[in-house]
Structure 1
Amino acid sequence: MLEELRDALYSAVRLTVPEKTVAVAFSGGVDSSLLAKICSDLGKRVTLLTVGFAGSHDVGFSKKIAGMLGLEHKVVELDSGQFEQDLAHVRKTIGCDNTSHIENCVAYASIARAAKEAGIKIVLSANGCDELFCGYNGYRAVYDKGENAVKKLMEEKISNELVLVQEISQIAKEFGVEVRQPFLSPAFIEFAKTIPVGQKIKGADDMMRKHILRQAALAADVPEESAMKPKKALQYGSSIHKNFKKRR
């Protein structure tokens, strides 16, 4: 199954992204690092874009992993003034009260702005990996209820993520930038669902999760520090959530 997953990952990127020049929304974690490595392996000119407040986890960690991958890397350090402007604009534009959606859209406003400044029109994100490979803590919470409960939660998570990526696209388009999610393509979603749940999550106390995806990342020569790094969501790793709470 690991070899089939590898083929599906590379195929998803190849089919979704024919362009040669792309940016990758990059935290340094397993999902974005694997996406960046696949793009590089496919011969694309890759620029990694990281967003975060000064001193945030993602800013420091992404620099380390980008250096190990040997890819061009740009860090967008957020400041309070621009953050407040983007936050107000996102709230008005997407008309959504979901905190996570608002925070993600604020992050992608900065990513799209940076892509535009760099002359890059296509930004890739690794959205979908946590949903399809049981990355969230919610999967631990339902694990003991059985496989059907895990699969039901997966469907709910995917549906929510598809709404979020439409909101992200709406924000990015204002900068003339298109955000694509290769791992949310219909073909990849259907393939990922065929992977046994036990290869994704081992039990209710499984703090790592996404096991087969991490194995695929290691097989693709993603640095172990990234491939085996526990999940830290974008809004937390960038300190966006911390700053959002101050302005509620």
Structure 2
Amino acid sequence: MGPPPEEPPRLSVGNPVVALSTTSRPVPCCSLQEAGAHRGVSVPADNRAAPTRSAMRGHPEPRRGVGEMCGIAASYPVDDAFITAALRAQAARGPDQTASVDLGFCALGVNRLAISGLDGGHQPLGSADGSVVVVFNGAIYNADRLIERYGLTPRSGNDGEIIHFLYQRYGLSFADHLEGMFAICLADLRRRELVVAVDQVGIKPLYWCDTSRGRYVASTLAAFPPELRRQVRRVPPGTVWSTSGEGRRIVHEHTLQGALGDLLTASVAEQLPHEVRWGCMLSGGVDSSLIARIATEFVGAGAVETFTCGTGSSTDLTAARQVAEMLGTKHHEIIVDPDELPEIVDRVVEATGSFERWTVMAGVGTYLTARAARQEGTKVLLSGEGADELFGGYDEFQEVPTPYLDSMLLQYQADLGVSECLRLDRCTMAHGVEVRVPFLCTPVMRHARELPVADKIRTVNGVPVRKWALREFARTLLPAHVADRRKEEFTNGSGLTAELRRIAEAMFPPTRVADIVAAHPSFPVDDPFSAWFFTRWWEANGNSLGDNWQSMVDRGLFRQQWSIYHQPNGRDFALYRSAPASGKGNAE
């Protein structure tokens, strides 16, 4: 692909609502126009939140609207049967709109959950000259800044309208300029190429496979017919590639500099929705409490809704209730019905496409929270996910020799797309709810990676304090007992571990576990939990994904290390053994 043009392409006024076509050419459409080309067409003044105390202190205002949580699909060349089946399989991801377009050389499809541009933000999105058509899943947090930088006027309020403009200007480097969580399929009609891109963490999933009939792309494994699933691979995080064979890693053009508090506050502000009802997932721990507390700075405590899930004995319920009372949020408690858990486990295994122990166990609480939120009319939830991987929050981190800790943290971060982010995406989108993760924006991640080890785990009065830097910032906004609350696994804090163990051990006694291990020796099954989840997964998938565990890992469908489930800290020891020393040995 040639060098980027010196000037941005001149966009003429077009239809702000994308017109879809089932013919070989899309109806030309435009979401962005250059400021001045049609003066007076802009976002209405009442479509932006009034400045609050934080905004007036220099923090950014909440965005006018962020995000398109969707299921997307593409085929190259056109395969109407695949697109139709994929959209049907992904219907839960986008209840607000289902659409597809036949472009002659490829086809695109989308199930849309509208978060921004509710009236005119339909997908697919096309450029004014009809040469670029886009479907995307996710949220572009810096869309407003990019629109202002290039002197553009938004037409639909859909964040994705910036994508085709950047592609026409920068080619395959377009994603270098995007901050957010996204999976993108873009059709270049001039070059007759299909381009895909995934954010640097892999927060939004995308899968692909090549067959004798062509290349297929979709948001979920379930979108692919069973006979193709053995060939399906995950698109690696932080990559852009084209059917022409070109590909590259995403390299961000710049990173905002500043203190952790400023960067996290800016991230929360950029991710607050404007056009739909939203809330915060709240466990009462430092990460989720901090996100909820920052959110109140922009909209006021009474406008923030919080959601907590747990059993009657849950420590999270008690801690979250105290935080919610302190912040003055509208709080919702989801009390787990133990009798419902077997069915919920089935739904979580189906939604995640996984039998990985912690993915399923934590997924139960996530699934129930998203279900309750949707029943309340909530479309977006903010989560504190990612803080432990960035700042060293897990118990095992303090047992790793200092020179290896940064490498180990990077490995945990690399796994997010097939672990925590996969769970969040699949279990919430099963109910048409989007989860946003302010800790995983690029500026905060870059800041965390540049922190010395001593600021992540610091010994205070002889006691190692994990996430020390984050807790120090939290102390400026939260009471000490919240900032210092000890890390609990989500399933422990919610009380789910004990309930799930009771059911698992009753359903899968040692003899039955042994039978499953003997029948499937290549899979990591060795206890009642893994036997239960694997059995449900196998019943749904059989050998359609393959009968070799390692091949699935190699294709990016599961994370590499499983020994953590065999013995305490086993996974981390394996990582430590394989990780190079970072040379930052400035803490013990």
> Does the TM-score normalized on the shorter chain lie above 0.5?
yes
The AA in structure 1 aligned to 2:409 is: M
Which among 268, 274, 278 is matched to residue 13 of structure 1?
A: 268
Would the alpha carbon gap of residues 223 and 131 (structure 1) be closer, same or farther in structure 2, given more than 3 Å must change?
same
Q: Residue 162 of structure 1: CA displacement?
A: 2.8
Q: Which residue matches 1:218?
A: 475
Which among 411, 429, 435 is matched to residue 156 of structure 1?
A: 411
Matched, 1:108 2:336: no
Query: What's the secondary structure of 1:123's corresponding residue?
Result: strand
The AA in structure 2 aligned to 1:208 is: V
Matched, 1:134 2:389: no
Which among 445, 466, 476 is matched to residue 209 of structure 1?
A: 466
- Mapped contact 2:352–2:422 kept (Cα < 8 A): no
Matches of 2:288 and 2:387, distance apart in 1: 9
Which among 319, 326, 351 is matched to residue 93 of structure 1?
A: 351
Query: What's the secondary structure of 1:155's corresponding residue?
Result: helix
Q: Which residue matches 1:181?
A: 437
Query: What's the secondary structure of 1:96's corresponding residue?
Result: coil
Q: Residue 118 of structure 1: CA displacement?
A: 1.3
Matches of 1:178 and 1:64, distance apart in 2: 26
Q: Residue 11 of structure 1: CA displacement?
A: 1.1
> Equivalent residues in 2 for 1:164-179 (5 A)?
164-179=420-435
Matched, 1:240 2:496: yes
Q: Which residue matches 2:454?
A: 198
Would the alpha carbon gap of residues 203 and 27 (structure 1) be closer, same or farther in structure 2, given more than 3 Å must change?
same
Matches of 1:50 and 1:207, distance apart in 2: 28
Which among 54, 59, 63 is matched to residue 317 of structure 2?
A: 59
Q: Which residue matches 1:23?
A: 279
Q: Residue 52 of structure 1: CA displacement?
A: 0.2
The AA in structure 2 aligned to 1:214 is: R
Q: Residue 207 of structure 1: CA displacement?
A: 4.3
CA deviations on 1:20-78 (whole Å, 9 max, x unpaired) are 74211111111111000011112263111000001211112211121112111110000
Q: Which residue matches 2:239?
A: none
TM (normalized to structure 1)? 0.91
- Mapped contact 2:392–2:457 kept (Cα < 8 A): yes
Q: Which residue matches 2:306?
A: 48
Q: Residue 107 of structure 1: CA displacement?
A: 0.8
- Mapped contact 2:295–2:304 kept (Cα < 8 A): yes
Matches of 1:207 and 1:57, distance apart in 2: 23
Q: Higher strand proportion, which one?
A: 2
Q: Which residue matches 2:328?
A: 70
The AA in structure 2 aligned to 1:155 is: L
- Mapped contact 2:316–2:494 kept (Cα < 8 A): yes
The AA in structure 2 aligned to 1:152 is: S
Q: Residue 214 of structure 1: CA displacement?
A: 0.9
The AA in structure 2 aligned to 1:138 is: E
Matches of 2:423 and 2:310, distance apart in 1: 20
Unpaired runs of at least 5, structure 1: none
- Mapped contact 2:279–2:307 kept (Cα < 8 A): yes
- Mapped contact 1:104–1:168 kept (Cα < 8 A): no
Query: What's the secondary structure of 2:299's corresponding residue?
Result: coil
Matches of 1:208 and 1:230, distance apart in 2: 9
Matches of 1:242 and 1:66, distance apart in 2: 26
Q: Residue 206 of structure 1: CA displacement?
A: 4.2
Q: Residue 186 of structure 1: CA displacement?
A: 2.6
Q: Residue 160 of structure 1: CA displacement?
A: 2.4
- Mapped contact 1:207–1:230 kept (Cα < 8 A): no
Q: Residue 95 of structure 1: CA displacement?
A: 2.6
TM (normalized to structure 2)? 0.40
Q: Higher helix proportion, which one?
A: 1
- Mapped contact 2:381–2:433 kept (Cα < 8 A): yes
Paired-residue identity, %: 29
CA deviations on 1:169-202 (whole Å, 9 max, x unpaired) are 1221121110111111233211211122111102
CA deviations on 1:83-109 (whole Å, 9 max, x unpaired) are 221111112332323211111211111
The AA in structure 1 aligned to 2:490 is: L
The AA in structure 1 aligned to 2:467 is: K
The AA in structure 2 aligned to 1:241 is: T
Would the alpha carbon gap of residues 178 and 236 (structure 1) be closer, same or farther in structure 2, given more than 3 Å must change?
same
Q: Residue 203 of structure 1: CA displacement?
A: 4.9
CA deviations on 1:116-166 (whole Å, 9 max, x unpaired) are 111110011100111111111121110xx233x111110121122232212
Query: What's the secondary structure of 1:105's corresponding residue?
Result: helix
Q: Could you say which structure has the larger radius of gyration?
A: 2
- Mapped contact 2:273–2:380 kept (Cα < 8 A): no
